Structure 1
Amino acid sequence: MSERIANDKLRGKVMSPEGAAQFVNAGDKVGISGFTGAGYPKALPTAIAERAKAAHDKGDDFKIDLFTGASTAPDCDGVLAEANAINFRTPYQSDPSMRNSINAAQMKYADIHLSHSGMYMQQGFFGQLDVAIVEAVRITEEGHIIPSSAVGNNVEYLDAAQRIIIEVNSWQSEHLEGMHDIWRMPQLPNRIPVPITSPGQRIGSPWIDIDLDKVVAVVETNSPDRNAPFKPADEVSQKIASNFLDFLEGEVAAGRLSYDGYIMQSGVGNVPNAVMAGLLDSKFENIQAYTEVIQDGMVDLIDAGKMTVASATAFSLSPEYAERMNDQAEKYRDSIILRPQQISNHPEVIRRVGLIATNGMIEADIYGNINSTNVSGTRMMNGIGGSGDFTRNGYISSFISPSVAKDGAISAIVPFASHIDHTEHDVMVVITEYGYADLRGLTPRDRAKKMIAIAHPDYRPLLEEYYERANKGKFLHTPHDLPTAFSFHTNLADKGSMKG
Structure 2
Amino acid sequence: MEQYMHKFVTPEKAAEAVQSGDWVDYGFGAGFPELMDRAIAARKEELRDVKVRGGLVIRPRIEVVEQDPEQTAFHYYSWHIGDYERKLQTRGLVRFVPVALRLLPDLYRQGHVRTDVVCVPVSKPDADGYCSLGISNFSWRVMMENARTVIFEINEHYPVVFGVEGSNRVHLSEADYIVEGTHEPLPTRSYKDPSPTDISIAKLVVEEIPDGATLALGVGGVPFTIANMLAESDKKDLGCHTGTISDAYLAMFKAGKLTNAKKEIDTGLSTWNLAMGSQEMYDWIAANPNLFHPGDLDYVHSPERMSRISNFISINGGVQLDLMGQENAESAGTRQLSGIGGQMDFLEGAYRSKGGKGFICINSSRMTKDGERKSNILPFIPGGSTVSAPRTMIQYVATEYGVVKLSGLSLRERADAMISIAHPDFRAELEEYAAKSFK
Whether the 8 Å CA contact 1:99–1:380 is kept in 2: the answer is no
Does residue 253 of structure 2 align to residue 302 of structure 1?
yes
TM superposition shift of 1:274: 0.4
1:194-273 equivalences under 5 Å are 202-205=164-167, 207-209=169-171, 211-212=173-174, 214-248=175-209, 258-259=210-211, 261-273=212-224
Between 221-230 and 443-452, report the one with greater CA deviation. Answer: 221-230
- For residues 103 and 403 of structure 1, the distance between their equivalents in structure 2, rounded to whole angstroms, comes to 31
**What is the aligned partner in structure 2 of residue 412 from structure 1?**
376
Whether the 8 Å CA contact 1:370–1:423 is kept in 2: the answer is yes
- Identical-residue share of aligned pairs (%): 24
The residue matched to 1:227 in structure 2 has which SS?
Answer: coil
1:78-477 equivalences under 5 Å are 78-82=62-66, 83=68, 84=71, 86-87=74-75, 89-97=77-85, 100-101=88-89, 104=92, 107-127=94-114, 129-172=115-158, 176-177=159-160, 179-181=161-163, 202-205=164-167, 207-209=169-171, 211-212=173-174, 214-248=175-209, 258-259=210-211, 261-309=212-260, 310-317=270-277, 321-322=278-279, 324-354=280-310, 355-376=312-333, 378-394=334-350, 395-407=356-368, 409-418=373-382, 419-470=386-437, 476=439
Whether the 8 Å CA contact 1:11–1:218 is kept in 2: the answer is no
Tell me the amino acid that sits aligned with residue 373 of structure 1: E
Q: Taking structure 1 as reference, are residues 19 and 409 closer, same or farther at Cα in structure 2, changes over 3 Å only?
A: farther
In the comparison of the two structures, how many residue pairs are matched?
414
1:52-71 equivalences under 5 Å are 52=44, 54-55=45-46, 61-66=48-53, 68=54, 70-71=55-56
TM superposition shift of 1:442: 1.4
**What is the aligned partner in structure 1 of residue 16 from structure 2?**
22
Q: Taking structure 1 as reference, are residues 387 and 286 closer, same or farther at Cα in structure 2, changes over 3 Å only?
A: same
The residue matched to 2:230 in structure 1 has which SS?
Answer: helix
Aligned CA RMSD, in angstroms, stands at 2.5
TM superposition shift of 1:440: 2.6
Q: Taking structure 1 as reference, are residues 211 and 120 closer, same or farther at Cα in structure 2, changes over 3 Å only?
A: farther
The residue matched to 1:425 in structure 2 has which SS?
Answer: helix
CA offset digits 1:394-413 (Å, max 9, x no partner): 23211012222344544221
Q: Taking structure 1 as reference, are residues 9 and 133 closer, same or farther at Cα in structure 2, changes over 3 Å only?
A: farther
CA offset digits 1:165-208 (Å, max 9, x no partner): 11111122xxx33x333xxxxxxxxxxxxxxxxxxxx4545522
Whether the 8 Å CA contact 2:247–2:281 is kept in 1: the answer is no
TM superposition shift of 1:107: 4.9
CA offset digits 1:199-256 (Å, max 9, x no partner): xxx45455224644x51242323322223321122211111100112333xxxxxxxx
The residue matched to 2:226 in structure 1 has which SS?
Answer: helix
Moved over 6 A (4+): none
- For residues 330 and 209 of structure 1, the distance between their equivalents in structure 2, rounded to whole angstroms, comes to 19
Q: Taking structure 1 as reference, are residues 102 and 141 closer, same or farther at Cα in structure 2, changes over 3 Å only?
A: farther
Tell me the amino acid that sits aligned with residue 169 of structure 2: W
- For residues 283 and 206 of structure 2, the distance between their equivalents in structure 1, rounded to whole angstroms, comes to 32
CA offset digits 1:338-372 (Å, max 9, x no partner): 11122110121122214111111111001111111
- For residues 203 and 356 of structure 1, the distance between their equivalents in structure 2, rounded to whole angstroms, comes to 26
- For residues 403 and 290 of structure 2, the distance between their equivalents in structure 1, rounded to whole angstroms, comes to 35
TM-score (norm 1): 0.76
Whether the 8 Å CA contact 1:325–1:332 is kept in 2: the answer is no
**What is the aligned partner in structure 2 of residue 199 from structure 1?**
none
TM superposition shift of 1:123: 2.2
Unaligned 5+ residue runs, structure 2? 261-269, 351-355
TM superposition shift of 1:291: 0.6
TM superposition shift of 1:140: 3.5
Q: Taking structure 1 as reference, are residues 215 and 142 closer, same or farther at Cα in structure 2, changes over 3 Å only?
A: farther
Tell me the amino acid that sits aligned with residue 274 of structure 2: A
Tell me the amino acid that sits aligned with residue 276 of structure 2: S
The residue matched to 2:391 in structure 1 has which SS?
Answer: coil
TM superposition shift of 1:44: 1.6
Q: Taking structure 1 as reference, are residues 291 and 327 closer, same or farther at Cα in structure 2, changes over 3 Å only?
A: closer
Match of 1:51 among 43, 49, 57: 43
The residue matched to 2:204 in structure 1 has which SS?
Answer: helix
Q: Taking structure 1 as reference, are residues 206 and 438 closer, same or farther at Cα in structure 2, changes over 3 Å only?
A: closer
TM superposition shift of 1:112: 0.8
- For residues 296 and 368 of structure 1, the distance between their equivalents in structure 2, rounded to whole angstroms, comes to 30
Q: Taking structure 1 as reference, are residues 152 and 99 closer, same or farther at Cα in structure 2, changes over 3 Å only?
A: same
Whether the 8 Å CA contact 1:32–1:157 is kept in 2: the answer is no
- For residues 326 and 247 of structure 1, the distance between their equivalents in structure 2, rounded to whole angstroms, comes to 30
Q: Taking structure 1 as reference, are residues 49 and 389 closer, same or farther at Cα in structure 2, changes over 3 Å only?
A: same
**What is the aligned partner in structure 2 of residue 492 from structure 1?**
none
Tell me the amino acid that sits aligned with residue 298 of structure 1: Y
- For residues 180 and 287 of structure 2, the distance between their equivalents in structure 1, rounded to whole angstroms, comes to 28
- For residues 197 and 398 of structure 2, the distance between their equivalents in structure 1, rounded to whole angstroms, comes to 12
Q: Taking structure 1 as reference, are residues 455 and 100 closer, same or farther at Cα in structure 2, changes over 3 Å only?
A: farther
